[in-house]
Amino acid sequence: MSKIIATTTVTIQFLCAGYLVLSGPVLVRHPLGLAVQIGGILLGLWAIAAMQIGNFNITPTVRQDARMVTAGPYRYIRHPMYAALLLATFPLALAPFTVLRLLGWVTLLVTLLVKLSYEEKWLCDKFEAYGEYQAVSKRLIPFVF
C-alpha cells in the first residue's frame, strides 16, 4: 500500500508542477512574484544541502538507511522541500492567471499535504525522536503550520 501511495503522490506532484512550469513563463515578471520564486528555489537548495544528496528521497517512503535531519531549514519546518516547491510554483499559478493553473497549484498543495501526512507517519515509525521533533517544529510555515 505504501508503494501505491508513494507512486501516486509523486506522479500527481510532478504532473502539477510540470504543468505550471510548461504552461507559461518559467520565471514570472512581477518583482514580488519573482522574489517568491527565487526564495522558493533558495529554500529548496538549502534543504537539499542540509539533507545531503545521499539521504534525499523523492518518495514519502523512508529508506532503510535514512537518517533524521533537523539542521538547516529543517530546524524550523519539517518539509522545507515541499514548502520550496509550493513557493516556487505559486507565482506561476497567478501569472498569467487561469483557473486551470490555479487548480493545478491547489492540486499540488493538497497532494503535498497528503504526501507529508503519510511521510510523517512513516518517519514516526522509523525514528523514535521524530515525535519530539514534531513538537518543536512546524510542517510547512515556520511558527504557523
The answer to whether the beta carbons of residues 104 and 20 sit under 8 Å apart is yes
Average pLDDT in the 34-52 region?
96
Q: Does domain 2-136 have CATH number 3.30.30.60?
A: no
Domain ranges of the chain: 2-136
- Mean pLDDT score across all residues of the chain: 93
Give SS3 for 82: helix
Q: Give residue-wise pLDDT tens across range 99-125.
A: 999 999 999 999 999 999 999 999 999
- CA angle centred on 107, ends 97 and 70, rounded to 5°: 110
- Nearest CA to 142 out of 79, 89, 96, 93 is that of 79
CA distance 50 to 59: 18
pLDDT for residue 53 = 76
The answer to whether the beta carbons of residues 74 and 135 sit under 8 Å apart is no
Which residues, other chains included, contact 142 with Cβ-Cβ below 8 Å and sequence gap of 6+? 76, 77
Average pLDDT in the 12-39 region?
95
